[in-house]
Structure 1
């Protein structure tokens, strides 16, 4: 019988039943050792022996195993292969992992062993994980992917969380098996339909680094090598190798900082094939990546060997700027603007080069793109123009604390370039007093959110590192120096800790414990502290800017782009003093307002009101306990003061809950209005949809959904409204959800059909703001094509490909560019 089932041990009281599921074929002789490894962690196992009754592919085998696990009344399924071993700690951790909470899938670190006690740990290999422990629910099923598919999936999404445990893959220990594994997959999947990153990485050992398994993470029984292939023999014919298309997909997996060595190797592999195939577009893409990796000299040599074209010249200008040759960069950028006077991307590069020398006064200065109306700039004679760090101080309506914030920066032991951005009116110059001679002051008449103020400060400064300070905060001594130390050690971003500016203010300490205890000095929550960051200026060219439309969390959205791709240093000793409310009424009002501003995505709006309220109370209670525990670490007040703080934390918790309940009421009403708007749009009644959408928008102005509904209704009105009104609504929807693709996609679809000229202008502006997002450059290329601007379309198409060469849309454009006039000369081809 192919299907085998066996009970290992009895399930104890209050213990979830865990069943091990696996298949075996040519590796069946490894099963006894695998069962010895996992029996202490599971209650039963079910196996399919594919040698006896071969099933029709992986999905069929897994469906048989899933049905068998259900028949055994499994509550959790652990998956494994005979050539895998889990670390011994799993047995003691299983009860903790398999609790009654059924909405979590646990992932494990995948360690590819190259010796029985050592695993490969260079770059990509050290980041491999796999979902291995699944809860059995009604919606669990097996995906249909024939090769490399997930074991199980769910019709309703589940959270995948790291278990903190590893499992070890034995197959890669023997070099012959490594070669056979590559040959098998490369032959079965010659077009790489089932794995876009290809298979050549399996036998690429140029960056090989091995790490010994720590004693506390060992597995047992130990592996005894037999040097068998544990599979079919390699095919007689040479399997096909990966192409550049697959290498680009693999490159996307290598964006993390610890993958730098592998990333460079893949870039050079791509370049070698591109030169052999005279693929000029790919050569330029490699030059762009090499420049980003700090290899400006090599990038310059590549670009200089290519025929002149607007795309090549503009990329060469950026490379010259990165290498410090500003004069040549200006000449190249001017040549592009003369050839393509309608090109915004070239004009932006010229302005960036001009401002690299400190000229921010022009009417077309870059910082003005974030200003909706009137603004003035005044640079004091004492501004430090050669500082290693810029600090952007953000004020709203010239608050009284603005001068003290600037004073805390002027008192630093390392001088900084200080840019003060004040919006919404007020007399910021008077607030600064004599300090205004040592800052660059930008006053914007209209009120701005923090994201827009940050962006203005970035564009109106020149230091290589940019930090931010709110007007209600102070920089502690060493604030600038310690940030710079973190950046000198290779960090793209450096965090800061937060404490109360008045160490004996009980109301302020209570609110600090409630809001910011993860960011206190010495907090164990440092890996979650992606706030208060300073940035290497190059980060903004790579990942765009902060959303100017978000009232709060603009840094949260921006920092998500950096996570896993840039080095962020935590706990460096950078300390910011925050001014909290000083009275109990002000403290409670602040907590209430924060609760009321909670975004809809964080509220359980689909649950019944009673269950939703219970969930809020449970989360509030958990946060309340953490804040109380944190308050015990406060050493600036005595025992009585700490007792009062704990009671104030209770009051803050209740105020926050009241704000949350008010927020839910608002969103419930908005949800009804949004449903009406959607129904009206489907029924072809845009005027009715517009009324409902605008009412919801006014109630929840920070929710993207209602702005998008408003934009869709406006775009379908008859007679049509002014185009500017439609564009503004789409842009607000996009700005309030920076990760969403739909608002811009809808906007470009609307404009390309009705007004390609406006589509080109809008797409160029958005590409300016978000150079990391290829959709804008692609839209600009499409609009330019419709307008007959072939060279401009070519320019944007190439820059879209440079930013995301793994994107199918960008690759399709790249394929169309290969036949154009960018073939490298024979001298370059012969040097490959």
Structure 2
């Protein structure tokens, strides 16, 4: 059900897309199969595709899915920009995010809507077998299958992948959306800023997403290197909260800039940070030892991921001018401060 022209949708599903013509139909079909009994909208935000993605969306909208809308998101590059532009075009007070190469699980639309009626910010689990049965050189694991992610250097927070996430529009706008200066870990950065503004991120098992892993050793290694670099960028931006130490409840920043939780002893923070920085070297060593006993392409992909992630972490050099998030300056919680 889509409602009339003037009906305000109750949920907007925002899908960033770049050259997604081959995978997007799977995602759209999964959404269409669970059309809700209330007005909604599905926005595919085309980030400059050249493979006919836009034409595919127009065809689906005209022939089978009137709630579907193509958004030209080519003005700025990257998935963060595509999502931000999509939310700017959406009309609903509740926003759900999924990706063009994945597949939402049965009941996903209703589950996100119901979750956002109870919570401000939600995420669900990833499932890794449905879309990867024929993969030859993909990694053997799937993240976020049973719980949210905890960064080792920021254990007082949780994070989630943007491919399976829902948030109230007001909360999204409060933090300025996703940081368009981040090429990876932009979803982690978003989660951290939302929590620092005082909004809880809640894990909802019913919001299930079937995720498509990268296949092919080179693609796996490129993604892993970028992810390692993204983690290094996070460490820089949230250095103040790293130094607060482990075991604290999430620190929130009040409107006047006051932090709600104080810092742990410097010695404890320094020890924790040293452990994080040394993890990359140990991971490379373990991965190289495993490389001599790989038995299948997936084993090699696992090794390639660990080595490449560690290289991305260790070799990435962060511009000292990159803005840090600060408990004394609430403006740094806005995505525009990181661009």
TM-score range, shorter chain: 0.5 to 0.7
Matched, 1:394 2:27: no
CA separation of 1:660 and 1:474: change in aligned 2, threshold 3 A: same
Q: Higher relative CO (CA 8 A, sep ≥ 6), structure 1 or 2? A: 2
Q: Is the 8 A contact 2:178 2:190 kept in 1?
A: yes
Cross-structure match for 1:429: 54
Equivalence for 1:420: 44
CA distance in 2, matches of 1:614, 1:558: 26
Question: Among 98, 103, 125, which residue is 1:497 paired with?
Answer: 125
1:653 deviates by 3.0
Matched, 1:557 2:203: no
1:347-746 to 2 correspondences below 5 Å: 385-414=7-36, 416-426=40-50, 427-432=52-57, 434-437=59-62, 438=66, 439-489=68-118, 491-500=119-128, 501-505=130-134, 507=136, 511=139, 513=141, 516-517=142-143, 519-520=144-145, 522-523=146-147, 528-531=158-161, 532-563=164-195, 565-584=198-217, 586-595=219-228, 598-599=231-232, 615-619=279-283, 648-649=298-299, 651-658=301-308, 660-661=310-311, 664-665=314-315, 667=317, 703-705=318-320, 708=321, 733-734=322-323, 737=324, 739=325
What whole-Å deviation, never above 9, does each CA across 1:723-742 have from its counterpart, x for those lacking one?
xxxxxxxxxx44xx5x2699
Q: Deviations over 1:689-729 (max 9, x none)?
A: xxxxxxxxxxxxxx442xx3xxxxxxxxxxxxxxxxxxxxx
Cα deviations across residues 118-169 of structure 1 (Å, max 9, x unaligned)?
A: xxxxxxxxxxxxxxxxxxxxxxxxxxxxxxxxxxxxxxxxxxxxxxxxxxxx
Give the RMSD, CA atoms, in angstroms.
Answer: 4.3
1:547–1:648: structure 2 CA closer, same or farther, 3 Å change rule?
A: same
| Larger-Rg structure | 1
Measure, in 1, the Cα distance between the counterparts of 2:335 and 2:99.
27
1:502 Cα deviation after fit: 2.4
Change (3 A) 1:597 1:385: same
Does the Cα contact within 8 Å between 1:458 and 1:466 map onto a contact in 2?
Answer: yes
Distance 1:524 1:494 in 2: 10
- 1:171-210 equivalences in 2 (<5 Å): none
DSSP-derived class of the 1:502 partner: coil
User: Larger % of helix: which?
Assistant: 1
**TM-score, scaled to structure 2:** 0.65
- How many angstroms does 1:399 deviate by? 4.3
Q: Match of 1:412, SS?
A: coil
Q: Is 1:413–1:478's contact at 8 Å kept on the other side of the alignment?
A: no
| Count of aligned residue pairs for this structure pair | 277
Give 5+ residue unaligned stretches, structure 2: 151-156, 237-274, 289-293
Instruction: Summarize the alignment of residues 206-355 of structure 1 with structure 2, pairs less than 5 Å apart.
Output: none
1:651 CA displacement: 4.3
CA contact (8 A) 1:416 1:480 kept: no
Distance 1:382 1:397, change over 3 A: farther
1:470 CA drift (Å): 1.5
Is 1:407–1:435's contact at 8 Å kept on the other side of the alignment?
no
What TM-score does the superposition give when structure 1 sets the normalisation length?
0.29
Counterparts of 1:424 and 1:566, CA distance in 2: 33
Cα displacement (A) at 1:392: 0.7
